Amino acid sequence: MSNVQNKVAVVTGAASGIGRALALGLARRGARLALSDVHDRGLADTADRIKALGADVHIAHLDVSDRAAVEAYAAAVADHYGTVHQIYNNAGVPGGSRTVLDADWESYEHVIGINLFGVIHGTKAFLPHLIASGDGHVINVSSLNGYLAQPMLSDYCASKFAVRGFTEALRAEMLAARHPVRVTVVHPGGVRTNIANAGLEKAAGREPTAQELARVDTYNSRLLTLPAERAAQIIVDGVERGSPRILVGRDAKSVDLLVRLLPKLHPKLLLRVERRLFGDA
């Protein structure tokens, strides 16, 4: 067991969604927070809510795809608090909702730059501080799409599968070197956040198609149903237990079982579900 009380916890992507819910949940358990995001207004609102709970909070504008900025941020947080115990590499963006044939290079570079390299940057920048704390923990947020591939999401799936592999390799290294750092990969299922709508925002400069609008509506009404607060509770409970792998939501658990039991058949079953939901897969 690893209590988060009095621990210095860093949360990226803390302006909304799971990141905000994680920050508030950690604050209620007595953690000291270092929060970052590129959305300054949302980040300030999260910080105000945390201050109202009486918790310590340090905030910074941060683009996790910028390696130098993340390295400078890690040094600033360590200087501010004197130590760092936990890093929640949560910041992420949705995929481009295009087939591999139709996707542009910019989408792959943008999604992988944030979802994968943001995790790598955060881990490498903070890892020496976590080791020095004597009680460190790296928590990297992947996705249900870190073990289930879906059509129209090749950029997103590539990033989230890679987060899973990177995190599991890191865990093996920490165990081999006997460093005092736990490592956890998180696989959320359908959490009620703004991620589907954010996917439409990426289409700025052109009108979204009727197909894209219908997919977003289906995600929001039928698939993204777990409250972010409940997702954060599941994650922090798992962190306090020292769980190496946290599945968030019944859908994440069901799909994990499906992929393991039916490795050859599940892609065909998924295609049937996609057609029933969207009529376009």
C-alpha distance across the termini of the chain, in Å: 44
From the list 81, 88, 108, 156, the catalytic residue is 156
How far is 1 from 241, CA to CA, in rounded Å?
A: 5
175 CB-near residues (< 8 Å, 6+ apart): none
Q: What is the C-alpha separation between 92 and 118, in angstroms, rounded?
A: 8
**Contact predicate 40/64, CB 8 Å:** no
Cα–Cα dist 9/30, whole Å: 10
Check if 81 is active-site.
no
In three-state secondary structure terms, 93 is coil
CA-wise closest residue to 245 among 178, 174, 164: 164
Q: What angle do CA 12, 14, 16 make, to 5 degrees?
A: 140
Residues involved in catalysis: 156
